[in-house]
Amino acid sequence: MRPINVNSCFPLFISALLLISCNETPTSTDEKVAEDTAQVTTVKEVSPVPEYDPAMDGYLTGGKAVKKLGDTLGIKMYEFTAKPGDTWALHTHPDHTAYILQGGKVALYIKEMGRQDTLDFPTGMYIINGPLSDSGKNIGKSTIKMVVTDIYRPRSK
């Protein structure tokens, strides 16, 4: 009779234990109900991004001041033009950029800050910003033109 090598039997022993543990009989439905008495509470997470409201979309509410350049892949790109004295109503941007093609002076109200500021927008200036709501007036003597890109994308929480 040949001696048994313990090292070669060990993997068989482990395999047998795994098979036995996988074949345990499941608990009955009645036992699960009796054991599961935890209450479930749903917590609504608050997103830092305001919900999209088409009534507040500057691309849609800008009227003649807005010239569509593109609208695809969750990105709206448009040229915004404001002549001296022109005003624009309160509207909401998601993440957005703006590039000033023709600069000027603006009285800009940003709702989240709760105040109006007088700002110079020099030609060539760019803005990269998160969501906000704003309104304004061209208080300068020159026409202001800018390319605005609104980026509608999911945000991490």
pLDDT at 18: 47
Phi, psi dihedral angles at 134 (to 5 degrees): -145, 165
pLDDT at 14: 52
pLDDT at 62: 86
Written as six digits, the tokens of 91 are 């509207």
Domains of the chain, each with CATH number or no CATH: 6-35 (no CATH), 54-151 (2.60.120.10)
pLDDT at 36: 55
- Max CA separation in the chain (angstroms): 108
pLDDT digits (tens, 9 = 90+) for 24-46: 555 555 555 556 555 554 545 54
pLDDT at 24: 53
pLDDT at 17: 47
pLDDT at 53: 78
Q: What span, in angstroms and rounded, lies between the C-alpha atoms of 102 and 82?
A: 10
Show Cβ contacts of residue 42 under 8 Å, excluding neighbours closer than 6 positions.
none
Burial of 152 (0-12, 13-18, 19+ CB in 10 A): middle
Spans of the chain below 70 pLDDT: 1-52, 155-157
Residue that has been written with the tokens 């499941």 in this structure: 26
pLDDT at 84: 98
Provide DSSP, 15-39: HHHHHHHHTPPPPPHHHHHHH----
Q: What span, in angstroms and rounded, lies between the C-alpha atoms of 22 and 20?
A: 5
pLDDT at 60: 83
How many residues are listed for the chain in this entry?
157
Written as six digits, the tokens of 141 are 């003597």
